[in-house]
Amino acid sequence: MADGQGQAFLMPDGDRGSSTRRRVLVVDDEAGVRESLRLVLRDKYDVSVAESGEEALRRAVSEAFDAVLLDLVMPGLDGMAVLERIKGQRPELPVVIVTATRTVKTAVTAIKLGAFDYLEKPFDLDELRIVLANATRTSALQREVDELRAEVGRRYQLGNIVGRSEAMQIVFRTVSQVAPLKTTVLITGESGTGKELIAKALHYQSPRASRTMTAINCAAIPEHLLESELLGHERGAFTGADSRKLGQFELAHQSTIFLDEIAELQPAMQAKLLRVIETGQFMRVGGVKPIEVDVRIVAATNQDLNQAISTGAFRADLYYRLNVVTLHLPPLRERRHDLALLIKHFTQAKAAELGVKERAFLPEAIDHLLRYRWPGNVRELENLIERLLVLSDFGPVRAEELPEVVRQSPTSAAGGNIRGEVLLGIRTLSDAVDEFERQIIVEALHQSEFNQTRTAERLGTTRRILKYRIDKLGILEK
C-alpha cells in the first residue's frame, strides 16, 4: 500500500521495508503548516501528513511511525482527544504536541495524557529538530527493546525445550496450563535439571512477559544483606545506607520474581516472604509505610522441603503458600529417552554460539554417554558438550576424549549391571529393556558400518522395524 504522497507503509508489527529513515506523521488542519513542516523535515525523515484528527488517529494506529507532530486546536476531533486515543492504542508511539496558544494547564494535561513534549508556534527550528530527534530515538530504542524481548520470549517457548520423556511432557502440560495465571509455582528437582529454564518458560508465556523476570539465588546473598536485597531499605536504615534502595520485589512489580534455592532462606526472612505472599505488601528496611506490589512468585529448591519442615528449618505455612502448583523436574538419569536429543541439541546450539564446527559422535562415545548417570544432570551434559567442541580436532568424538569418570561408568554389555539396578530399584524394568536393546542395536550398527539393511539382517528383523526402534530409542546415527 501507499499513503497520499506515494510512500510505502506497513502495519506496526510488520517489516519496515528497506528504508532506514525514521517516519514522522505531521498533523495540522492548516495546509501551509503541513507543507512547511514537510519541507523542513524531509532531509532527515520520511514525512507523512494528515489534515484532521480523525485521519491522524486512523493512520497513527495502523501505520509504522516513529513520532507524531500533533496540532492541538483542530475542528472535529481535537489534538487532546487524538493524543488520548493514540496513547490508548499505541502507548509506545511518541507524540509531540504543537500549538499557537501555550498555557501551563494545557501543557500539564498533555503530559499527563502521555505527550512526549510540547512545542509552541511559531517554531524554533533548532528546538523542533532536537525534540523530534529525541522522540524518534526513543521510539527506535523501544522498538529494539520490544524485538529483543520477543526474541527472548521465543527462546523460552516450550517447543524450544528438549524433552520427549513422559515426565517432561507432564511438566510441559502443566506449564501451559498455569503460565497465563498468577498462581504461585514451586519447582523441585536436583541441581542442573533446568529449574530456571522452566521458570522463564512460565514467565514468557504469561501476560507479564513484556516485563523482565527477576531471578534471585537465595543461597548466593549473605543473610544480613538478603532482606535489603529483596525488600529494599530507606536512607539511614543502617550504617552505610546513604540513600534509598528499591528491593527486587518492588522492581518486579507486575512481573515475575524467581526465588531459587528457597530452602536457604532463614526463618526471619521466611516470615517476611510469607507476608508478601499473603497480603501483597511489604516494608523496606527502616520503612514505616507498607508498599503494595503485584508480583508472581516462582520458587525452586533442590532439597526436600517436607524434611526441612520436620527439622524446623522451613516454615510449614510458607511451604503451603508456595506449594500451590508443583513442577518436579526429573534427573537426567531418569530421562534416558531424552539423552540423544539433548546431545544433538547442545552440539548444534553450542557450535553456533561458539562459532565452531559441529562434531559427530562415534558409537563407543555415544554408548558411554548413554550409560553414564549424569549426577550434574543437564548442566553437566551441556558443559561436557561445550568442552568437546572447544578442545576439538574437528573429527568425530572418540570415547577416549570423554572424561575418565564418564568412560568408567559401569558397562552393561552382559546385562549384569542392568539386572542389579532393576532389582535394587535404581532402574525401571522398561528402562532396562530399552537400555539393553539400545546397546545391541548400537553394536550391530557399528559392526555393519551403519548400513541399516545389513544391520536388520544381522538382528533378524526388517529395516522398517529397525528404523522404528532407532527413532524410538533416540539412537544417533553416524
pLDDT tens figures, 76-130: 888 889 898 998 888 889 999 888 766 667 777 887 888 888 888 777 888 888 9
Note whether 49 and 97 are same-domain residues: yes
- Residue 6 within a domain: no
Q: Residue 448 pLDDT > 60, yes or no?
A: yes
Q: Is the pLDDT of residue 464 over 80?
A: yes
Please check the confidence at residue 299 and state whether its pLDDT lies above 80.
Answer: yes
What confidence score (pLDDT) does residue 99 get? 80
Please identify, among 118, 151, 184, the residue that sits at the C-terminal boundary of a domain: 151
Which three three-digit cell numbers place residue 98? 504543537
Cα separation of 358 and 79, whole Å? Answer: 59
More confident site: 419 or 21:
21
**Ramachandran category for residue 415: left, alpha or beta (phi over 0 → left; psi -120 to 50 → alpha):** left
Q: How many domains does the chain have?
A: 3
Distance between the two ends of the chain, CA-based, in angstroms?
Answer: 51
Mean pLDDT of 413-442: 66
Give the rounded distance of the alpha carbon of 110 from its chain centre.
35
Mark which of 330, 345, 374 sits at the end of a domain.
330
My answer on whether 279 and 164 are in the same domain is yes
Query: Nine-digit cell at 228?
Result: 535489603
DSSP 288: -
Backbone φ, ψ for residue 205 (5° rounding): -105, 15
Query: Are residue 299 and residue 189 in the same domain, yes or no?
Result: yes
CATH value at residue 340: 1.10.8.60
Does the pLDDT at position 7 exceed 50? no
Q: Which residues, 6+ apart, have CB-to-CB distance to 373 below 8 Å? A: 333, 409
Cβ(322)–Cβ(299) below 8 Å: yes
Tell me the C-alpha to C-alpha distance, in Å, between residue 109 and each of 93, 97, 104, 115, 149: 18, 11, 9, 9, 32
Does some domain include residue 358?
A: yes
**pLDDT at res. 419:** 58
pLDDT tops 90 at residue 14:
no
- Is the model's pLDDT at 261 over the cut of 50? yes
Q: Is residue 184 part of a domain?
A: yes
More confident residue, 8 or 469: 469
DSSP 21: S
* 18 DSSP assignment: S
Q: What is the mean pLDDT of residues 404-414?
A: 68
Q: How confident is residue 241, by pLDDT bands cut at 50, 70 and 90?
A: confident
Q: Is 100 exposed, middle or buried (0-12, 13-18, 19+ CB in 10 A)?
A: exposed
- For residues 322 and 362, state if they share a domain: no
Residue 436 pLDDT:
82
Distance of CA 125 to the CA centre of its chain: 43
> Looking at the structure, do residues 217 and 342 belong to the same domain, yes or no?
no
- What does the pLDDT read at residue 17? 39
Q: Are residues 322 and 437 in the same domain?
A: no
Asked if 38 and 49 count as a contact pair (C-beta separation under 8 A), the reply is yes
Closest Cα partner for 132 from 94, 163, 158?
A: 94
Q: What is the mean pLDDT of residues 204-220?
A: 92
Whole domain around residue 115: which residue ranges? 22-151
Can you read off the three cell numbers belonging to residue 91? 502507548
What CATH number does residue 145 fall under? 3.40.50.2300
Residue 1 lies in a domain: no
CATH of the domain at 225: 3.40.50.300
At 110 the pLDDT is 81
351: left (phi over 0), alpha (psi -120 to 50) or beta: alpha
Whole-angstrom Cα distance, residue 447 to residue 455? Answer: 8
d(CA 189, CA 333): 12
Q: Is residue 171 part of a domain?
A: yes
Residue of 164, 171, 169, 194 lying closest to 473 (CA atoms): 164
CA distance 461 to 478: 20
Q: Say yes or no: 244 and 354 in one domain.
A: no
Nearest to 440 by CA among 421, 467, 461, 459: 459
pLDDT at residue 151 is higher than 90: no
Does 9 map to a domain?
A: no
Nearest to 377 by CA among 127, 190, 117: 190
129 plus 223 within the same structural domain: no
At residue 475, the 3 state secondary structure works out as: coil
**How many other CB atoms are found less than 10 A from the CB of residue 324?**
14
Angle at CA 330, nearest 5°, toward 328 and 332? 155
At residue 189, the pLDDT reads 94
Q: Which of 98, 131, 151 is the last residue of a domain?
A: 151
Residue 266 CA to residue 223 CA, distance in Å, equals 7
Is residue 452 domain-resident? yes
Q: Tabulate helix, strand, coil % of the chain (nearest 5).
A: 50, 15, 35
> In this predicted structure, what is the pLDDT of residue 476?
62
Residue 373 shares a structural domain with residue 461: yes
- What is the model's pLDDT at position 19? 46
The pLDDT, as a whole number, for residue 316 is 96
- Residue 446: the pLDDT is 79
Answer whether 301's CB lies under 8 Å from 188's CB. Answer: yes
pLDDT higher for 229 or 162?
229
State whether 414 and 340 are in the same domain. yes
- In this prediction, residues 44-62 reach a mean pLDDT of 90
- Strands of 177-272, DSSP E: 185-188, 214-217, 232-233, 245-246, 255-260
Mark whether 177 and 304 lie in a shared domain.
Answer: yes
Q: Is the pLDDT of residue 385 over 50?
A: yes
Same domain, 125 and 191: no
Query: pLDDT category, 304, cuts 50, 70, 90?
Result: very high
Average per-residue pLDDT in the chain? 84
β-strands 245-246, 232-233: how paired?
antiparallel
- Is residue 363 one of the residues assigned to a domain? yes
- DSSP per residue, 56-97: HHHHHHHS--SEEEEES--SSS-HHHHHHHHHHH-TTS-EEE
- Do the bridges between strand 214-217 and strand 291-292 make them parallel or antiparallel, or are there none, so unpaired? unpaired
pLDDT in tens, 350-381: 999 999 988 888 888 888 888 888 999 999 99
Average pLDDT (325-337) is 90
